[in-house]
Structure 1
Amino acid sequence: MKCAILLTTIHSGASDPRVQRREHEELVQAADELGFDVMVAGQHFLGAELRYFQPVPWLAHMARFGPRLRTATGIILLPLVNPVETAEQLATLDVLSDGRAVFGVGLGYSDHEFAAFGVAPGTRVARFEESLALIRRLWSGETVNFHGRFFSVTEARPAVLPLQPGGPPVWIGGQAAGAVQRAARLGDAWYAPPFPTHDELARLRALYLRTRQEAGRPVAGEFPVRRELLIAPTRQAGLAAALERYRARYEIYRKWGLQGENTPVGAGGEQVRTDIADRFVLGPPQECAEQLDRLRTELGMTHFVYKPHWPGLPHAEAMRQLEQFGTQVMPLFAANRGGAA
């Protein structure tokens, strides 16, 4: 079982971007020293509330501060980007990380992003599937002739290729049943977001495994899971602290358009539900380790993706939580599973 640090942002466009860079550098360096295995950075565009630097150059820079860590995009909004450029960007990242890149992708949900790129939201699934197919072909090292609905390539044989044969592993994110089935059919792993409840996560994992089996694809493999986690002296204290952080972050998700199936925002985009006990891992270190161990033993989680940063939370507190996780939760979890991280 591996641990990953998510380099999410708590920084608005009004903040000094150099502060954001320094804080992420500190998080990565600490995670590397604590024994983490992966760093993850996601993608959004034109978000005034939170500043997302683009993940490929961001991860390439951060790799200087975490030289042991794999680099994972979590996630690239594949319907919005050009697959030819993306194939070469990820191949470049794979070379810079010495063959340790992961290609995390998803559909996206924000209307303002689709409008900015001139992409009709109703085409996003078709664009996603076509783009992924073309990217895999471009990573093959063979001459590519590809003529799709949205993209065409003729007699192309790119020189920019990943070090990993066939390209980095593809983690496909999403919480709707259709997204999970798509991950099972087209990806190397389903990257589970933090939005479903614990029960919904278990049902979606079963759907993923069932779909893989029906498609004749191997069911063994990586299963990266994002769960929100907060360490506190008691479960009750953890719930109170988590609620404050959760509201600030998830109101932004809601404003950007997150809603619907297996999310804390209903299909009508109403206010964020606060049933966080069903979505968080929280409490004292021992209880957090036990909850993580259940995700491993009951659902087959192979990577736990941990986010220490929250809007309104001072960076010093995020660093303290990260250190607590690395020194108090990870050793207990390792002991529970009878092995090293």
Structure 2
Amino acid sequence: MRLGFLVDTDDRIAYGARGSAQDAVLAMEGMIAEAVAAEQAGFHTLAVPDRHGIADCAFPGPEQLLTVLARETERVAIGSFTLVSTLTHPLKVAEQLAVVDQLSRGRLFVTASRGFLPSFWDQFGAPQDHLLGRYTEALALWRAAMPGERFDFHGRYWDTTNGLLAPPPYQPGGWPIWGGGNVSPAAIARAADLGDAWTCDNGPLDLATWNRHVGVYRERAEALGKRPYVVLLRDAWVADTNEQAMAEFGGHLLKEVRFYLRKGTYAHHPGFTEPDDATVENLFDHVVVGDPQRCRDQIERFRTEFGVDQVILRPRFPGGPDRTRVLEQIARLGAEVVRPVQERFPAPDHPAVPIGARW
């Protein structure tokens, strides 16, 4: 099984709370330190979100941080989780991603989505109509560009004449694409149509609902002759006891889950639709939080009961915990959770894994 780490690019403690330009440097350096520590701790994957127009976001967009991590890390897979592909011309984005793929010697993957926050499109004056068409056409343009030859692309939303992706991708045929989309069966099936994996958010999971959703993806992938690959984001914190872990992490967790419940983006549990549905107690079953054995058991449960191929862990939200605690968590998660799970369940080889990070 593969285990990843999400580097949250918002940091209200180091940057946003004070808001000075100098504090942005502290936040950036801290995020890079988290990523380097996660590789040293044994994580297979580093994932970076896409954020814009937020006062406490030190790395707007995943491309900048991924470029740094391409040089600061050596063997871990690096990629977006997720990249909003409807904000700007896809060939401009592809140029930046190709640089990351080259610098990392083929360790890049890209989770791509159409997005769901209007503030992102407002930030760039991007059209907010026909977003699905813009998204699917952007990925089609990427595919046309990845051979590294001159090409023309004349779509309904994006246009390129005599275009060239330079540098070309390091990986033959281009970087793996992971599909976003959690809310509707059509979006879930689309992940199989457009990419090599299906990525799932950190929301609560109901097994019956999950089986219906993941079944849509698996059926479509297999019909296309693809091997399914399921990636699950889970919030994580390890402590000496379950009670201590929830006491230290539960307040941060609750704020985050309620934020996304207000946005209506969680779809895998019918009992969680409104912010008040979430409590520290009833979230416990849906996170990788507790003593080391409980954290390992949860990951194994997601593997065996839910059929997940990779779990990406997140121990920090924009509002905390503070980075000193998080760096301690990374080391402890690595020693007491990640490495023992890796020893028990070897990492699968799959086209969704970048060629430079298949270990």
Q: Which structure 1 residue ranges, 5 or more long, are not aligned?
A: none
- 1:108 maps to 2:124: no
- 1:35 counterpart letter in structure 2: G
Secondary structure of residue in 2 paired with 1:63: helix
Which TM-score applies when normalising by structure 1? 0.88
CA displacement, residues 233-258 of structure 1 (integer Å, 9 cap, x when unaligned): 33344344443011333455467x45
Secondary structure of residue in 2 paired with 1:80: coil
Q: How far, CA to CA, are the matches of 1:217 and 1:94 in structure 2?
A: 26
Question: Would the aligned equivalents of 1:290 and 1:333 in 2 still touch at CA under 8 Å?
Answer: no
Secondary structure of residue in 1 paired with 2:86: helix
> Match of 1:213?
222
Deviation for aligned residue 1:334: 3.0
| Percent identity between the two aligned chains | 26
Which TM-score applies when normalising by structure 2? 0.84
Question: Would the aligned equivalents of 1:49 and 1:252 in 2 still touch at CA under 8 Å?
Answer: no
> Match of 2:354?
none
Q: Which structure 2 residue ranges, 5 or more long, are not aligned?
A: 349-358
- 1:204 maps to 2:176: no
Shifted more, 86-95 versus 63-72: the winner is: 63-72
After superposition, where does 1:69-218 map in structure 2 within 5 Å?
69-177=76-184, 178-199=186-207, 200-214=209-223, 216-218=224-226
TM-align CA RMSD: 2.6
> Match of 1:261?
267
Deviation for aligned residue 1:133: 0.4
Q: How far, CA to CA, are the matches of 1:26 and 1:270 in structure 2?
A: 33
Shifted more, 96-105 versus 13-22: the winner is: 13-22
Q: How far, CA to CA, are the matches of 2:34 and 2:45 in structure 1?
A: 12
Q: How far, CA to CA, are the matches of 2:295 and 2:276 in structure 1?
A: 28
Q: For residues 198 and 52 of structure 1, do their structure 2 counterparts lie closer, same or farther at Cα, with a shift above 3 Å needed?
A: farther
> Match of 1:225?
232
Q: For residues 270 and 115 of structure 1, do their structure 2 counterparts lie closer, same or farther at Cα, with a shift above 3 Å needed?
A: farther
Question: Would the aligned equivalents of 1:7 and 1:39 in 2 still touch at CA under 8 Å?
Answer: yes
Which of residues 311, 316, 326 in structure 2 aligns to 1:318? 326
Q: How far, CA to CA, are the matches of 1:28 and 1:115 in structure 2?
A: 30
Q: How far, CA to CA, are the matches of 1:300 and 1:259 in structure 2?
A: 22
Question: Would the aligned equivalents of 1:9 and 1:309 in 2 still touch at CA under 8 Å?
Answer: no
Q: How far, CA to CA, are the matches of 1:173 and 1:196 in structure 2?
A: 17
Deviation for aligned residue 1:161: 0.9
Q: How far, CA to CA, are the matches of 2:41 and 2:236 in structure 1?
A: 17
- 1:23 maps to 2:22: no
Structure with the greater relative contact order (CA < 8 A, sep ≥ 6): 1 or 2?
Answer: 2
Question: Would the aligned equivalents of 2:257 and 2:278 in 1 still touch at CA under 8 Å?
Answer: no
- 1:213 counterpart letter in structure 2: E
